[in-house]
Amino acid sequence: MLGSIFVVIYCLLTAGSAVYVSDVESIVHPFVTVFYSFLFGTIFYNLFNLKKEKRIFQKTLKNLKTVTKLNITTVFNWLLLFYPLKFIEPTVGISIYVAIRPITTFFLTFKDYSTKKEKLTELFFCLLIAFVLMLIIYDDFSRITDSTSELINIFLVVIAAISGSLTSIYAFDLSKKNFVTSQVLSVRFILLIISSLILAFVNSYTIYITEPTFLRFLVVTIISVVLPMYFLQKGLENVGPMLVAYLIPFIPIFTCLIQIFYFHEKVRYFELSLIIFLAISIFFLVFFKKRPANGQKRNSKNT
């Protein structure tokens, strides 16, 4: 229950911070935003664990394969999601991403389900969530599928979703190997920072920032990295990758509600009814179903 609440808080923070982040990205390129926000976030979590750095280093070496996989999939997850969103409607891209995550996570954790009935039930809910999300964005989605370049961008979003599922699995594995939340976050984004810096240089995007922009990046770091990533990892440790995948569709749900009630966008009642139906379905699925094996909380003592 508590783990699910952590993930919902992550979704709310992510949806709420999207407006501020998009404002920053109108000034600097997303690659530069990724570089600075995750650099500052990684510095924060390493300073938080300063007295445990030697222990973290030893655990990282011991679990180097898992840490490396986590870093690689994190790069694909973030960059292949950020890049297409410059060319397709963000609401469409995010909705496709969160629609696919439950399906890909289900197939990646297929072996964790012991009975055929359980497997079919999980698959039904995965497809139901994807179907409802596609109905919500149908009008926007039908407009962009006429372009080959935009179809390629949608394909990149699909790859990002698969990478996101793998990222959850590897982060969950580290939590079972005595990495506490802040320690996972201190080693997770190293390759993403390096990759975004290289891409910024290759594409000649300036990484020089003024003092006001620096302060904006500090805000982005807090509202988009430090807080949401903490709640996401904390929730992942408690409920596992599959339930996290079921819960992240709350991101477009919260985004739509923010647009309606805060920015006073025109209400489309069919879309709103689908959002309400999706929220109730997720609530029923998460809070009334038996948790799968991949969601069992670890028993090992954190160090």
167 contacts 70 by C-beta, under 8 angstroms: yes
Residue 44's CB is within 10 A of a number of other CB atoms, namely 18
Give a yes or no: residue 301 inside a domain: no
Give a yes or no: residue 303 inside a domain: no
pLDDT greater at residue 130 or residue 88: 130
Give a yes or no: residue 285 inside a domain: yes
Q: Name every residue whose Cβ is closer than 8 Å to that of residue 103 and which is 6 or more positions away in sequence.
A: 126, 127, 130
Residue 147 confidence class, pLDDT cut points 50, 70, 90: low
Q: What is the pTM of this model?
A: 0.85
Query: What are 23's two structure tokens?
Result: 């404002």
- What is d(CA 142, CA 236) in angstroms, rounded to the nearest whole number? 34
User: Above 80 in pLDDT, residue 282?
Assistant: yes
Residue 289 confidence class, pLDDT cut points 50, 70, 90: low
Give a yes or no: residue 302 inside a domain: no
pLDDT greater at residue 286 or residue 204: 204
What is the count of structural domains for the chain?
Answer: 1
Query: What are 166's two structure tokens?
Result: 């793998």
Give a yes or no: residue 22 inside a domain: yes
pLDDT in tens, 89-112: 777 788 889 989 999 999 998 888
Give a yes or no: residue 187 inside a domain: yes
Query: What are 104's two structure tokens?
Result: 């890909």
∠ Cα 172 95 23 (to 5°): 95
Which pLDDT belongs to residue 292? 45
Using CA of residue 146, residue 155, residue 141, residue 134, what is the dihedral sign?
A: positive
Give a yes or no: residue 300 inside a domain: no
Domain membership of residue 278 as a residue range: 2-295
Give a yes or no: residue 197 inside a domain: yes
